[in-house]
Amino acid sequence: MDTDLSDDEIPSLVQPGTNVKVAATEPDQAPGLVATTDQDEVPDLVETEETPGKVPISIVTGYLGAGKTTLLNYILTEQHGKKIAVILNEFGDSIDIEKQLTVSDENTTEAKPIPFVPLANGCICCSVKDVGIAAIENLMEQRGKFDYILLETTGLADPGNIAPLFWLDDGLGSTIFLDGILTLVDAKNILKSLNEGYGDEKCIEEAQHDANHSEHGPLLTTAHLQISHADVVIINKTDLVSKEELDTVIERVRSINGLTRIQTTTKSKVPQLEGLVLDLHAYDEVTDADLKFANKGHSHIDTTITTTTITFPTISRAQVDNFDKYLRTILWEDQLPGDFDHLEFEIHRLKGRIPVHDGKTLLVQGVRNIYDMNETQASHSSSDEAKLVLIGKGVDQPAFRESLLHTL
Ligand SMILES: Nc1nc2c(ncn2[C@@H]2O[C@H](COP(=O)(O)OP(=O)(O)OP(=O)(O)O)[C@@H](O)[C@H]2O)c(=O)[nH]1
């Protein structure tokens, strides 16, 4: 990570002059071409016969029994004309994916080859005990047979630990890229799972009162983590709840994650794959549309994890470095710059769109303590505001904005 920047350098994890975005799977793009964007150049198309485009991967997560396997089976049997490689987790939930990332037989250093089964609808599938890097590397040897990977995690997995592997990893990151995180939610049981963090005996109102009057607030549950990192939340099993119950679930999910897209389903039957399961593009562009839900303001139904949007005026070129310093301090040191270091918080997801006076726009993406900042030529008017959206524990405090303005 680049921490030592001179004044005229652009603070970014990618050095100036290198390609900062690779959009390998733009749907309307001719095969064999990838769009590259140089910080000083207009986006261009270049031939890539020798270096095929990266394959997108989406992580499918969700609490026990939410409908992950049902979704993947639906994708593997329906006729949708897509060549998707699905990695199903056979036994799920007793093992944490983090422990599986260098999976192999204990007595050998080589990963065992995993057989992928070709299916009638053009997909290929493997079912593995341990979903990890070994499974993906093995799959990449069959490159060309598929153009998308879906990875099911265990019901207890924390997607914030997995996502950075595919997003910025040097090895795997050269052949695949993280397209997004999809979280299945069981409409009937999700509120119970979320309320576990508030303790068995307490009702949520009491816990909210406590959260407002104590430093720590309710406990974080796996269900919170899976929703807070999601780019799409599919609220499944709608046949088991009333309209009112479903509305309450939608409101609760939205109060946790103000950035996510939400879709309701029965038997995980998504109305379309694009935009809900595939081609989420959650880690490349940051558009105003991406931030639209977060901008609407949010209810504080769930006090464990909240979304907050910090708006501030367009910044000058000289302030870009300070903005980067703010991000480094909150993400790497878990502190707010300035006299705010007594605050406790935990950031899970971050997105920002920051117009600069010289006409460029900074696009910021973060998962946990990893972030990426790029510049685009995207035009903006002088009246545009900068927006930084934070999802996490304790982020809904005025001090976040005060500290940012102080740092700028
Ligand atoms: N009533 C109802 N049942 C559903 C729905 N979707 C899935 N199920 C059932 O719920 C059970 C769990 O679904 P799975 O797809 O196995 O859930 P999962 O998230 O993969 O579960 P784990 O692997 O245990 O984490 C299965 O028996 C499904 O048939 C739905 O929309 N409504």
Query: Is residue 270 in some structural domain?
Result: no
Q: Does 342 share its domain with 251?
A: no
Global pTM?
Answer: 0.76
Residue tagged 């406990």 (tokens): 219
188 lines ligand 1 (CB under 6 A): no
DSSP 93: G
Q: So what's the pLDDT on residue 112? A: 58
The reply to whether 227 and 308 lie within a common domain is: no
Considering the domain architecture, whether residues 166 and 60 belong to the same structural domain is answered as yes
User: In this predicted structure, what is the pLDDT of residue 166?
Assistant: 77
Within-domain flag for 355: yes
| pLDDT at residue 162, as a whole number | 78
pLDDT tens per residue across span 373-399 = 988 876 666 567 899 999 998 888 888
CATH number at residue 318: 3.30.1220.10
Nearest atom (ligand 1) to Cα of 64: 25
Q: Is 273 inside any structural domain?
A: no
- Whether residue 347 is found in the same domain as residue 398: yes
Q: Tell whether ligand 1 has an atom less than 6 A from the beta carbon of residue 66.
A: yes
- CATH number of the domain within which 93 lies: 3.40.50.300
Question: What is the separation, in whole angstroms, between the first and last Cα of the chain?
Answer: 21
- 320 and 258: one domain? no
How many CA atoms are closer than 13 Å to the CA of 3, on its beta-carbon side? 7
Instruction: Assess whether 240 and 361 both reside in one domain.
Output: no
> How many domains is the chain partitioned into structurally?
2
| Own/partner long-range contacts of 68-71 (Cβ < 8 Å, ≥24 apart) | 68/152, 68/155, 68/184, 68/268, 69/152, 70/236, 70/267, 70/268, 71/184, 71/234, 71/236, 71/268, 71/270, 71/277
90 lines ligand 1 (CB under 6 A): no
Q: What is the ipTM of this complex?
A: 0.98
Using one digit for the tens of pLDDT, what is the confidence trace for 73-89? 898 888 888 899 988 87
Q: What is the pLDDT along the chain (408 residues), one digit of tens a residue?
A: 333 333 333 333 322 222 233 222 233 333 222 233 333 343 343 434 445 678 899 999 998 889 998 999 898 888 888 899 988 876 544 444 444 443 344 444 455 566 778 888 888 887 776 656 777 777 888 888 888 999 888 777 788 887 777 776 666 667 888 899 999 999 999 998 888 766 544 455 555 444 444 444 557 888 999 999 999 999 999 999 999 999 999 999 998 998 999 999 999 999 999 889 998 888 877 776 666 666 555 556 667 788 888 999 999 999 999 999 999 999 998 888 887 767 888 899 999 999 998 888 999 999 988 898 988 876 666 567 899 999 998 888 888 999 999 999
235 and 307, same domain (yes or no): no
b/e for 44-60, b at 16 or more Cβ within 10 A?
eeeebeeeebbbbbbbb
Q: Are residues 128 and 199 in the same domain?
A: yes
Domain identity same for 230 and 351: no
Q: Is the same domain home to 72 and 193?
A: yes
Could you tell me the distance, in angstroms and rounded to a whole number, from the CA of residue 139 to the centre of ligand 1? Answer: 26
In a domain, 15, yes or no: no
Q: Examine residue 390 and state whether it is found in any structural domain, yes or no.
A: yes
**pLDDT computed for residue 212 by the predictor:** 44
Whether residue 12 lies inside any domain: the answer is no
243 and 159 in a single domain? The answer is yes
For residue 291, being part of any structural domain is answered with: no
Cα of 68 vs centre of ligand 1, distance in Å, is 7
In a domain, residue 32? The reply is: no
Task: Please indicate, yes or no, whether residues 120 and 182 belong to a single structural domain of this protein.
Answer: yes
Mutate to test the pocket of ligand 1, among 69, 93, 270 (most ligand atoms within 8 A of CB): 69
Residue type, 388: L
pLDDT confidence of residue 325: 93
Task: Identify the domain containing residue 362 by its residue range.
Answer: 302-407
Residues 133-158, buried b or exposed e (16+ Cβ, 10 A)? bbbbebbeeeeeebbbbbbbbbbbbb
List, in order, residues 6 or more apart from 66 with CB less than 8 Å away.
Answer: 155, 184, 185, 186, 190, 236, 237
